[in-house]
Amino acid sequence: MQEHGLSFYVASMAEKITPRSQDFSQWYVDVVLQAKLADYSPVKGCMVIRPNGYSIWENIQQDLNTRIKKTGTRNAYFPLFIPESFLKKEAEHVEGFAPQCAVVTYAGGKELEEKLVVRPTSETIINSMFAKWIQSYRDLPMLINQWANVVRWEMRTRLFLRTTEFLWQEGHTCHATPEEAEANTRLMLGVYRDFAEEILAMPVIPGLKSDSEKFAGALRTYSIEAMMQDKKALQAGTSHNLSTNFAQAFETKFLDKDGKQKLVHQTSWGVSTRLIGGMIMTHSDDKGLVLPPRLASTHVVIVPIMGNAATKPQVLEACDKIAQSIRDAASKSTLPYEVGIMVDKDETKQPGWKFFEYELIGTPVRIEVGPRDLEKNQVVMTRRDEGKKEFISLDVAPARAIEMLSTMQKDLLEKARAYRDASTQRVSSYDEFKAKIEEGGFFVAPWCRSKDCEAKVKDDTKATIRCLPLDQEFNPYSETGCMVCGTQNPGVRAIFARAY
Amino acid sequence: MQEHGLSFYVASMAEKITPRSQDFSQWYVDVVLQAKLADYSPVKGCMVIRPNGYSIWENIQQDLNTRIKKTGTRNAYFPLFIPESFLKKEAEHVEGFAPQCAVVTYAGGKELEEKLVVRPTSETIINSMFAKWIQSYRDLPMLINQWANVVRWEMRTRLFLRTTEFLWQEGHTCHATPEEAEANTRLMLGVYRDFAEEILAMPVIPGLKSDSEKFAGALRTYSIEAMMQDKKALQAGTSHNLSTNFAQAFETKFLDKDGKQKLVHQTSWGVSTRLIGGMIMTHSDDKGLVLPPRLASTHVVIVPIMGNAATKPQVLEACDKIAQSIRDAASKSTLPYEVGIMVDKDETKQPGWKFFEYELIGTPVRIEVGPRDLEKNQVVMTRRDEGKKEFISLDVAPARAIEMLSTMQKDLLEKARAYRDASTQRVSSYDEFKAKIEEGGFFVAPWCRSKDCEAKVKDDTKATIRCLPLDQEFNPYSETGCMVCGTQNPGVRAIFARAY
């Protein structure tokens, strides 16, 4: 009976997720919906983040929040609504965001005298407060972060990747000098890079955005760019040097040591629930979610194979003992998080159903405990990403579980990095680029920094400049001219790719 | 010079905060603004929560979130926007909330076909998802919580206590039976009571709301009611038994074990940033904020009195040593939180300025370290709420700091409880009530449960029924009739008070 149950579920669960090779977009949607990470809502373009997905966001928040606080930044909260006139104070900013705004025109039973925009980002409302709070150089640097929801009206939405409402953190800082502002912009880009690689196990390339892709109102935008399994790029976080653009619009000034009134130099930087989408498309497979251990809440699930009435109590007791011994081992280990361990004693579900369920929701380590294995003093352990069953002696099972978690986190990053590197090529001629663009991946090519060449690439191939990477290795002078127009010594190499 | 600086600051700081005895409302505003907990924003009725205030909210969230999760409830996130038609599905609900709604009519450059209400609370949008997710009794109970911002258009606002936008958590649960729903409503009320008393050190009375004060759409609303220092009541949290009211409107049904389709029984419950206002008005004094240690991030501040160039290095070294020894003592103590310790080495500010600053922002324990005290092998310690200087020998200073934190948390609760109890009186005649209402405080009186008597009290005295307390002691049969109309054996005693 159990065997039958198992194979039944093999069939019924396996056919639910579209394979990546068949339709990557549909595979992604299947994983998100079936792992119950998120769901479509009745409000156009807005999604519901379900508990399985929200717990990932909570883990992201907790770790990133600690990193942000370490830079001396403090959290605060600013209003959801922005008076329409504020948005208009910075010319590029309003031009960039106005088409995406949701506007409250009616409240408390009356037409509003001034319309209120639901924040698409908070530079303007926060500057109105900075202007009040900052008087002197003694008030600088002022380093503020906010965890909040924002709304940008989007025509085409995708779960996590692009939704009308999304959750994010937005940092906003004020500095006395342009050098300090630039240093903070780069510092936070580095925080994002480390976070993405250490926690999401998602390798990223930090770089400068081209002018046409920078934030509306910024002097300069940096981003971290990741590659998904379909070889498309995903912008995973941005850090902007705003110079004095918003300070000018809001008269955010300070009295400097030299007795002169000066405008503050500002930065802003953010990452969002989009990271969850990027993490899914980096690691997951045709069986469902693959979750880096740092983002899991339940790290180890123990599934009892009860056997018959005689063996059941022994099996359950053994499961509890193993759970406790892993807990003990974890507390003595160097793992930088609390290891969540669950024994799934639900008798209304077959072990086979459970195996597929835990693969679907991405539990990093599964341990099967059955009467026959117990006779041999062993259990069966499987790492989610590898899917290989290992027979492990009971006495080393706890150590092996800890080791699996530790290794899995590293392996996921290395595997993704190897995949990205193997899908990155240097090209020097535009013909070569056009011939290869359908293969997907990143293309590193010399570029003359002209908007015309950038636009031509986009028109011809739908690829865009993801960034001008900061890493030295990408940035030596080019032996050939700009890939598009041939201008000699263009000075920079850009990464071109099709992107989300 | 230092003495001069000190007395200068005594004068200049002290006159900033209006004394409670002079104008309690202005005192409250002064504390909130000057301790930089919050600020007015340019958006009518919306406030900015500044880092000093937001860190209190983070501590509230962290502790309460753990308590909520212990009940098996999981966090999720639902859309900010609610289609106008959803709000209208439950008749009482829309009647209650429609006048307070902010409405998006325009988005992405176009008029919307259906207007979107900015959530004032999320029963409706969440039910639309529950209806989709819940199929069978196996899916029950479904226990969901959300940390979010909500908007209720208010005519008269007060920082933290009543703002157009506020932050809160809202729990939403579905159960198979009315008994389970009622039990969960009461369970969460108990979680709020314990949380308010253990963490905010704010004594509360849990009780049932009268029908006229219950949540729009609920069968029954419970609340916890606190007393502020001006003897007015503050509703600090609510827990609603929604019965099947929303389930009916959204057809949230399940297939029960008996094979029948049934409506789920629901609860919802929430507390908000209002708690911060309640905490302030419970404990703070004319010098500024008094913060229960459980809500502080910096628990102990060490202020060096540098003396002259010769003594300065010794003093600073001693401060660092004391900080470290308190850290060591704290890690071995039973205090259930990480103790934050700061040495304020800023030389641009005088010790006297610092004393008043830390009193203003409510740092629980202050330690002064000066050269003369060090000669005597002692330091000066002051507990924020007591304000008494204690000369403590260096070797017991760490233990004393831990003890002060532990005792202060308890003392604040006991002091507030004693104050509340002393300001609570039993009355049995309406004449007595009317004669005493100007004294303020809680009045426990028999009530016949009629809306007319309730309305008469409000019209005559501006007092409302805060709750019908659940505690036995308040609830025996009454020896006299309803305070207002004289109906015999009214069965319940109510707490009447003027409220925020």
Return the pLDDT at A479. 63
**Between chains, do B41 and A75 touch, taking CB under 8 Å as contact?**
no
State whether residue A95 sits within 8 Å of chain B by CB.
no
Round the average pLDDT of chain B to a whole number and report it: 94
For chain A, state the CA radius of gyration: 26
The helix (run of H) or strand (run of E) holding residue B351 is: helix B351-361
Largest CA distance in chain B: 86
Instruction: State how far residue A332 is from chain B, nearest Cα, in angstroms.
Output: 18
Least confident of A389-403, A468-482, B180-194, B321-335: A468-482
Residue of B nearest to A82 (CA): B43
Task: Give the residues across from A72 on adjacent strands.
Answer: none
**Between chains, do B108 and A101 touch, taking CB under 8 Å as contact?**
yes
State whether residue A335 sits within 8 Å of chain B by CB.
no
Give pLDDT tens digits for B226-258: 999 999 999 999 999 999 999 999 999 999 999
Least confident of A85-99, A380-394, B460-474: B460-474
State whether residue B86 sits within 8 Å of chain A by CB.
yes
For CA atoms B382, B383, B384, B390, give the dihedral sign. Answer: negative
Q: Tell me which of A39, A43, A136, A152 to substitute to probe the interface with B (most B C-beta atoms closer than 10 Å).
A: A43
Give pLDDT tens digits for B451-500: 999 999 999 999 999 999 998 555 555 567 899 998 887 778 899 999 99
Return the pLDDT at B16. 85
| pLDDT beyond 60 at B413 | yes
Query: Closest Cα partner for A12 from A302, A350, A306, A290?
Result: A350
Task: Give the residues across from A265 on adjacent strands.
Answer: A175
Query: Which pTM does this prediction carry?
Result: 0.95
Chain B, window 191-210: residues with a beta carbon less than 8 angstroms from a chain A beta carbon: none
Of B43, B99, B108, the CB nearest to A79: B43
Return the pLDDT at B131. 97
Instruction: State how far residue A376 is from chain B, nearest Cα, in angstroms.
Output: 36
Return the pLDDT at A236. 98
**Between chains, do A41 and B79 touch, taking CB under 8 Å as contact?**
yes
Return the pLDDT at A487. 85
* Mean per-residue pLDDT, B391-414: 97
| pLDDT beyond 50 at A16 | yes
In sequence order, what are the residues at sequence separation of 6 or more whose Cβ sits closer than 8 angstroms to the Cβ of residue B31?
Answer: B17, B37, B280, B284, B288, B289
State whether residue B97 sits within 8 Å of chain A by CB.
no
The percent of residues above 70 in pLDDT, for chain A, comes to 95
State whether residue B81 sits within 8 Å of chain A by CB.
yes
Strand order of the β-sheet with B142-151 is B74-75, B142-151, B165-175, B265-272, B233-243, B220-227, B205-208, B464-469, B492-497, B442-447, B424-426
| pLDDT beyond 90 at A359 | yes
> Where residue A10 falls among pLDDT bands split at 50, 70, 90?
very low
Return the pLDDT at B473. 55
Q: Cα separations (Å) of B332 from A381, A489, B329, B339, B340?
A: 38, 64, 5, 11, 14
For chain B, state the CA radius of gyration: 26
Instruction: State how far residue A137 is from chain B, nearest Cα, in angstroms.
Output: 13
Return the pLDDT at A432. 95
Q: Please name each of the domains of chain B with its CATH number.
A: 33-283 (3.30.930.10), 293-406 (3.40.50.800), 424-497 (3.30.110.30)
Tokens found for residue A144: 């503020």
B329 within 8 A of B391, measured Cβ to Cβ: no
Return the pLDDT at B475. 53
State whether residue A391 sits within 8 Å of chain B by CB.
no
Return the pLDDT at A473. 56
B105 within 8 A of A102, measured Cβ to Cβ: no
* Mean per-residue pLDDT, A291-309: 97
**Between chains, do B74 and A80 touch, taking CB under 8 Å as contact?**
no
Tokens found for residue B352: 């006297």
Q: How far apart are the first and last CA of chain A?
A: 46
**Between chains, do A54 and B46 touch, taking CB under 8 Å as contact?**
no
Residue of B nearest to A45 (CA): B79
Q: How far is the C-alpha of A489 from the C-alpha of A470, rounded, in Å?
A: 18
Return the pLDDT at B481. 84
Query: Closest Cα partner for A81 from A109, A130, A112, A117?
Result: A117
